[in-house]
Amino acid sequence: MIEFDQVQKSYQVGDRAIPALHATSLTIETGEVFGIVGHSGAGKSTLIRLINRLERPSGGRILIDGENVTDYDAGELRAYRRRVGMIFQHFNLLSSKTVSDNIAFPMKLAGIYSRQQIEERVTELLARVGLTDHARKYPSQLSGGQKQRVGIARALACRPTILLCDEATSALDPQTTQSVLRLLADINRELGLTIVLITHEMDVVRRVCDRVAVMDAGEVVEMGPVSEVFLHPKHPTTRDFVFESENIDRDEMQEDLQHASGRILRLTFKGEATYKPLLGHVARESGVDFSILSGRIDHIKETPYGQLTLSLVGGDLSRAMAALEAADVHVEVLR
C-alpha cells in the first residue's frame, strides 16, 4: 500500500541542507499496523509527513497503491489527502466547535458531501468511538481520552484508507492509552484500514503493531515483525527501547547476575509454549537445578510470550538446552 523507494529528505535552513531522512526503502502492506519507533529527532515525523505529502521528498519515489504521489500537483494532493486520516498527540480539535461539528469539519471542507450524508456519517462515527452522548459538548468539556476519540472519528470522516498516528497516546495516562490503542486495533480489524503509528514508546508498538521500523538519526536501523524485533532486538537503539519499555535497569541487572552462580540463560517462550509446564520437566530429565532471577509474561498484540532469566547448576546442561530448544523455546546464554 505504501512504498518508499530510496526516499530522502533534507530541510533547507538558510544555505544549509539539514538531513532528516537518509535514503530509505520500505513497504507497508494493506491492512497492517506499522509502528515507527525512535527518539526525538530521529526522523519519524518527517517520514509520516512524507506519507501524507505535507513534505516533498528531496529524492526517491513514494508509491501509494502503486501510484506515484511524489510529483502530485495541488489538486491531486487535495484528493489524495482525503484518503489519509491523521491523529495527533495534542488532538488539534477546534475549541469553538462541538464534538459533532469537529467530526463533520473535514467533510464540509471537502465540499463533496450532502448535509444528510454528513449528519448520518457523524452519528455513525460518534457511535463507533463511543461518544454518542457527548455530541453537543465542546472539547474543553472532555477528558484527554475522549478528545482523542473525537480526533479518531474526525480522521475517519472521509473514509480514508490510511490512518497516520503521531504520538497519539503520548499525552494520555496508561489506562486511557490502553483504551485508545484498543479502539485503534478494532478499527484496523473491522475497517481493514492501514495504520502507521509513530511513537517513542516500544510498549505502544508491542500492544498494537504487526511490524515495526526502528529509526535513529534519519535512518531505519532495524525493521521486522514486532515479535521478532521486540524479543530479539539486534541494533543497540532497539535494545535500549526494549529495555526501557520493560523497566530494566541494565547496571542493576548486571549486578544481580554477579551474585548468581552457574550458567545464566535467558529463555523466551512464545504462543502455546508460554503456558507449558516445561521447566520442571527439563530439570527432572537433565538433573539441572535452576533458580529464577527474573521473569515476565505478557502479550505482543494477541500472542502471549514469556521471558525468564535463570541460573542453572549441576546436571547435564547441554541436554537441558536441547530439550528447551526442542520445545520451541529460544535460549540465549548470558553467561
Shortest CB 42 distance to ligand ADP, Å: 4
CB-wise, 17 or 248, nearer to ligand ADP? 17
Of the ranges 38-46, 92-100, 179-187, 270-278, which one interacts with ligand ADP (CB under 6 A)? 38-46
CB-wise, 42 or 104, nearer to ligand ADP? 42
Host H or E run for residue 309: strand 303-313
Looking at 15, 16, 40, 277, which residue binds ligand ADP (CB under 6 A)?
40
Residue carrying the nine cell digits 466547535: 97
117 class by beta-carbon count within 10 Å (0-12 exposed, 13-18 middle, 19+ buried): exposed
Ranges within 120-159 binding ligand ADP (CB under 6 A): none
Residue 42 engages ligand ADP in binding (rule: CB under 6 A): yes
206 class by beta-carbon count within 10 Å (0-12 exposed, 13-18 middle, 19+ buried): buried
Contacts for 74 with CB less than 8 Å, ≥ 6 apart: none
Query: SS3 string of 176-190?
Result: HHHHHHHHHHHHHHH
Ranges within 45-64 binding ligand ADP (CB under 6 A): 45-46
Integer Cα distance of 47 and 166 in angstroms: 11
Residue 15 engages ligand ADP in binding (rule: CB under 6 A): no
Rg of the Cα atoms in the chain = 24
Backbone angles phi, psi at 113, to 5 degrees: -115, 145
Looking at 13, 73, 174, 252, which residue binds ligand ADP (CB under 6 A)?
13
Residue 41 engages ligand ADP in binding (rule: CB under 6 A): yes
Looking at 43, 85, 139, 145, which residue binds ligand ADP (CB under 6 A)?
43
CB-wise, 20 or 242, nearer to ligand ADP? 20
Q: What does the binding site for ligand ADP look like in residue numbers (CB under 6 A)?
A: 11, 13, 18, 20, 38, 40-46
